[in-house]
Amino acid sequence: MKLFPIHISNFKIDGGSMFGVVPKVLWQSKYPADENNLCSWSLRSLLIDTGDRVILIDTGHGDKQGKKFFSHVHLFGGDGLEGAINKKGYSLDDITDVILTHLHADHCGGAVKFNNDKTDYELTFKNANYWVSKPHWDWAMSPNKQEGASFLEENLMPMFKSGKLKFIEKDTELYPGINLRLYNGHTVGQMIPFVDTGDNIVVFMADLIPSTAHIPLVWNMAYDVRPMDMIQDKEDFLNEAAEKKYTLFFQHDLYNECATVQKTEKGVRVKETFTLI
């Protein structure tokens, strides 16, 4: 099994949004904000070649939206989705499976693109099955008022109409070595992949733990729809990760691609940081 980090882009977003109730005087030492209170973050995906399947986890924002949308996202750097995949020696048509951790625009937008004349939408990965958790899909079809703007029709309905959308009902092994678990703190039914490489287990953190700065239990995002569930999700996961020495692969950490964690007197904390490859 081969794993490849896919660096789609970086982006800027309000620091208060990313750290919720944590005071700025604390979080700005870890993620410095600019004059507009914006912090810089990474947008990574993960490509997995099992020998039989070529699996992509999450797809970034894509490029369907206009200038107004991206003026709030402030994208910069990175290789782009297709460019990053090509850089690893693969094409869009090589992808057999797309695992979408959840359906917020920065995680699933690249799964759908304009057709050649921009009159309609089509799947970016025409040979792939698209995997989404069923509880999360149902939630996205009828979200609460806080989260509704995160689910864009142009991202979701082309997948549904294509016949390529496949649902995961509960924790499951998708393929040998690829296990998917559902968590409900950030959003209902967020699907976190656990990848057994044979040497260790790499966990794609998505928005369960967006960065090393979010490892302390109460350092959470304002976007989390169930804050108390998020704290419990993290506590259970981090205790397991420390005991089993998981490699945590961060989707949004600008400074650290991966980390291991350990138990300390202050709770579970970072043991070491490193790159996957």
Its domain, for residue 161, covers 2-274
- Res. 67: pLDDT tops 90: no
Work out the number of other CB atoms within 10 angstroms of the CB of residue 23.
9
Q: What are phi and psi of 170, to 5 degrees?
A: -160, 180
Sign of CA dihedral 96, 101, 103, 107: negative
Q: Quick one: which H or E segment has residue 168? A: strand 165-168
Helices (H) and strands (E) in the chain, counts: 8, 15
Edge to edge, the sheet with strand 97-99 lists 2-14, 38-49, 54-57, 97-99, 129-133, 165-168
pLDDT at 147: 87
Q: State residue 70's pLDDT score.
A: 85
Name the nearest CA neighbour of 9 among 65, 64, 59: 59
- Model confidence at 274, pLDDT cuts 50, 70, 90, reads very high
pLDDT band at 148 (very low <50, low <70, confident <90, very high): confident
pLDDT band at 277 (very low <50, low <70, confident <90, very high): confident
pLDDT digits (tens, 9 = 90+) for 235-271: 999 999 999 999 999 999 999 999 999 999 999 999 9
CA 112 to chain centre: 16
Length of the chain counted residue by residue: 277
pLDDT (tens digit per residue) in 159-218: 999 999 999 999 999 999 999 999 999 999 999 999 999 999 999 999 999 999 999 999
pLDDT of residue 68: 82
Contact (Cβ atoms closer than 8 angstroms) between residue 84 and residue 8: yes
> What CATH number is given to the structural domain containing 24?
3.60.15.10
pLDDT by residue (tens digit) across 20-39? 999 999 999 999 999 999 99
**Residues 73-108 pLDDT 10s:** 899 999 999 999 999 999 999 999 999 999 999 999
Please report which confidence band the pLDDT of residue 130 belongs to, taking 50, 70 and 90 as the band edges: very high
The conformation of residue 250, written as its DSSP 8-state character, comes to: P
pLDDT of residue 60: 97
Q: Give percent of the chain above pLDDT 70.
A: 100
In this predicted structure, the answer to whether residue 144 has a pLDDT above a threshold of 90 is no
Predicted pLDDT at 142: 93
Q: What is the pLDDT of residue 69?
A: 84
Mean pLDDT of 121-143: 97
Q: Are 181 and 172 in contact (CB under 8 A)?
A: no
> Mean pLDDT over residues 50-73, rounded?
91
Confidence of residue 65 (pLDDT cuts 50, 70, 90): confident
Number of domain units in the chain? 1
Tell me what the pLDDT averaged over the chain comes to. Answer: 96
Residue 146: what pLDDT? 84
